[in-house]
């Protein structure tokens, strides 16, 4: 029986795609299924849906435009994204948000694409999977207008500080924690904070192939992260929270199923 759901796998166009069958099998062997494939642009969301059709029991997806791709957002994007979001494999709008760390798209375009996707999530009453790096103030400003009407709002790969965590909890967000927390240097602040995330608001994710947990021993031969390592991340977070690993995993599993409206013991057709 699966006991973990990886809520953020960057499959399309990544090293994982070439080895997809094995990636899925290795994950399933560790009780990680299904995997949520992230759509980062309209084109990638289309490809993500195609992957899901190939593996209908193992993969589901999001559809959206990442802030890195926000400059591709145009007047017809809302319409195109609506059609993608209505596909049965798609469980959330996203990932969308703001990334002022890389600034791959101009900030005004990032804000427009984010606001338009939040409006669409409200209209379709679908949950939203969001990304925020170094953009807390603007992110909150935009999100607060839509938050009361959103059916669910998840900030994936949370790596912020205590003040931002408190604000996000106040806004009733779900928070996704990655193997970033296992990094003894840059993850040390996050390691202090994870115990303060309410039990019914926390989720776990690999964000693979990025963010291989640095503390794994023996170190995996490849530096590429995979969904099969999710149980390691989950156990690590459970110990930081002072919780029993199995109980924590069960709570996270329930949170994830509820948020994405998945049936428990998920068996997609």
Residues of this chain that bind Zn ion (CB under 5 A): 131
33: number of Cβ within 10 Å: 23
Minimum CB–partner distance for residue 195 and Zn ion (Å): 23
**CB distance 132 to 167 below 8 Å:** no
Least distance between Zn ion and beta carbon 134 (Å): 13
Q: Which is nearer to Zn ion, 210 or 232 (CB)?
A: 210
Shortest distance, CB of residue 194 to Zn ion, whole angstroms? 18
Complex with Zn ion: residue 65 or 238, whichever CB lies closer:
65
- Name which of 4 and 131 has its Cβ closer to Zn ion: 131
Minimum distance from residue 180 beta carbon to Zn ion (Å): 11
- How many angstroms separate the first and last alpha carbons of the chain? 16
Residue 267 CB, shortest distance to Zn ion, in Å, is 28
Q: Residue with the closest Cβ to Zn ion?
A: 131
How far does Cα 263 stand from its chain's mean position?
Answer: 18
Q: In angstroms, what CA-CA distances link 159 with 145, 187, 204? A: 23, 8, 13
Say what angle helices 77-85 and 107-124 make with each other, to 10 degrees: 40
Complex with Zn ion: residue 131 or 174, whichever CB lies closer: 131
- Scan for tokens 């690590």, then name that residue: 236
Closer residue to Zn ion, CB minimum distance, 68 or 241: 68
Q: Rounded to whole angstroms, how far apart are CA atoms 90 and 16?
A: 20
CB of 203 to Zn ion, least distance (A): 13
CB 209 within 8 A of CB 191: no
Cβ atoms 153, 130 nearer than 8 A:
yes
């Amino acid at each position: 029986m699966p006991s973990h759901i990886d809520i953020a796998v960057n499959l399309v166009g990544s090293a994982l795609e070439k080895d997809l069958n094995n990636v899925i099998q290795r994950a399933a062997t560790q009780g990680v299924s299904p995997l949520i494939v992230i759509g980062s642009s309209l084109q990638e969301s289309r490809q993500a849906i195609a992957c899901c059709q190939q593996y209908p029991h193992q993969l589901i997806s999001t559809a959206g435009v990442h802030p890195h791709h926000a400059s591709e957002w145009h007047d017809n994007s809302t319409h195109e994204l609506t059609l993608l979001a209505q596909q049965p494999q798609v469980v959330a709008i996203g990932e969308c948000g703001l990334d002022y760390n890389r600034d791959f798209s101009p900030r005004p375009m990032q804000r427009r694409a984010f606001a338009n996707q939040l409006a669409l999530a409200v209209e379709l009453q679908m949950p939203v999977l969001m990304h925020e790096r170094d953009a807390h103030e603007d992110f909150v400003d935009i999100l607060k207008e839509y938050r009361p009407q959103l059916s669910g709002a998840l900030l994936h790969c949370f790596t912020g500080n205590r003040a931002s965590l408190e604000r996000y909890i106040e806004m009733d967000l779900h928070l996704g924690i990655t193997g970033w927390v296992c990094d003894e240097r840059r993850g040390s602040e996050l390691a202090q904070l994870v115990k303060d995330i309410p039990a019914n608001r926390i989720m776990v994710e690999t964000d693979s192939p990025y963010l291989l947990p640095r503390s794994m021993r023996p170190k995996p031969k490849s530096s590429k992260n995979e969904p099969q390592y999710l149980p390691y991340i989950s156990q690590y977070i459970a110990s930081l929270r002072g919780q029993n690993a199995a109980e924590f995993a069960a709570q996270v599993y329930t949170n994830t199923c509820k948020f994405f409206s998945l049936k428990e013991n998920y068996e997609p057709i």
